[in-house]
Amino acid sequence: MLEAESWMLNIKMKEKMKEEQINRVKLLIQRFREYMGMENFSQRTIGDYVNQLGFFIQYLQTTDIEEITQIDKELIHKYQMYLYSYQKKGKPLSLETQYARLVPVKSLFRFLVKRGYFLYDPTSQIELPKRKKNLPRGLMTKKEIFKILSQPDPDTILGLRDKAILELLYSTGIRNSELRNLSIYDLDTTHGELRINYGKGRKDRVIPLGEIASKYIEEYLNISRPLLLEQQKQKSQNLLFVSKRGKKIDQSNLIWLIKKYVKKANVHKHITPHSFRHTCATHMLRGKANLRHIQELLGHSSIATTQIYTQVELSDLKREHRRSHPREKQLDAES
């Protein structure tokens, strides 16, 4: 009887110990989350990382480890194999999903080693799945983008603001979050320059601001913005673009704004603020802009990221070759 009670007590102690260790992992993830916030990661990235780390916690709960220090290279390898073999509704996880779940784990342990919580990084030898580089979606033709740009009514308060936003997105290719965080002090419309503070990866950059975008931004600053701020008495607000309530525009507001004008322009494509970024880069490349210059404009840390737009050019070239080459025309005629 005593042996049975001792065995049961031992099981309960192990369960409690495991629960305590899982809670400790959750605490370390919370520290990691705070660190990402201090490093100016976007709220979207932070949320994605924390969500993906939730799957790692679920996996740890299925293992027999009793101490957090038992998380080693072998366990991480097993987690990667688990993701590879896992099936949802009879289908394996895509390489993109596997990648998305492994990257936050690697980032977490780099942080833990850096802060002294772990002596070594158990993820250091993990090779991430090679992701397929998809071509940018929502690319607009010149006709489509010009039609969308013509939709806002600059004779109205919000129409002038929206016109300035759309022109700025297409002129500079800046990101959704970069636009929403712009300060009035980041602009130099006289010299046609725009400063991006704390872009992706906390990188600052100064980029050219087109004349048309500068024109509408100046009009917005002189006419619409003071009226929007006056309605809410937010005169100390330094943000460049504000909502109709005089406050910061959030991500969903900007997405909705874009969709509204895309619909009015009768353009039947899935267009987001990021589509303006892709379209800006693609149109500049077609205009013979240097790839390095486009890299600087977009704030890409690697030229490899910018080179995706050359693939867009190649797909266009193939289509034009098929349409215009005499031999291809002959093939169509024979078929």
Q: What is the pLDDT of residues 103-132, one digit of tens each?
A: 999 999 999 999 998 999 999 988 888 766
pTM over 0.85: no
Q: Give CATH 1.10.443.10 domain extents, the chain.
A: 142-322
Superfamily for the 2-114 domain: Tyrosine recombinase, N-terminal domain (1.10.150.130)
- The per-type count for the chain, helices as H runs and strands as E runs, is 15, 5
The answer for residues whose C-beta is within 8 angstroms of residue 301's C-beta and 6 or more apart is 201, 203
What is the rounded distance in angstroms from the CA atom of residue 243 to the CA atom of residue 235?
14
Identify the DSSP state of 151: -
The answer to whether residue 277 scores a pLDDT higher than 80 is: yes
pLDDT at 44: 81
Q: Give CATH 1.10.150.130 domain extents, the chain.
A: 2-114
The answer to whether residue 79 scores a pLDDT higher than 70 is: yes
Q: What are phi and psi of 196, to 5 degrees?
A: -105, 115
Residue with tokens 């409690």: 16
**Residues identified as active-site:** 175, 200, 274, 277, 300, 309
pLDDT digits (tens, 9 = 90+) for 156-213: 999 999 999 999 999 999 999 899 999 999 999 888 889 988 655 557 788 888 899 9
CATH number listed for the domain at residues 142-322: 1.10.443.10
The answer to whether residue 1 scores a pLDDT higher than 90 is: no
What is the rounded distance in angstroms from the CA atom of residue 39 to the CA atom of residue 13?
39
Q: Do the strands 91-92 and 87-88 form a parallel or antiparallel pair, or are they unpaired?
A: antiparallel
Other C-beta atoms within 10 Å of 300: how many? 18
Q: What are phi and psi of 67, to 5 degrees?
A: -130, 145
Other C-beta atoms within 10 Å of 222: how many? 10
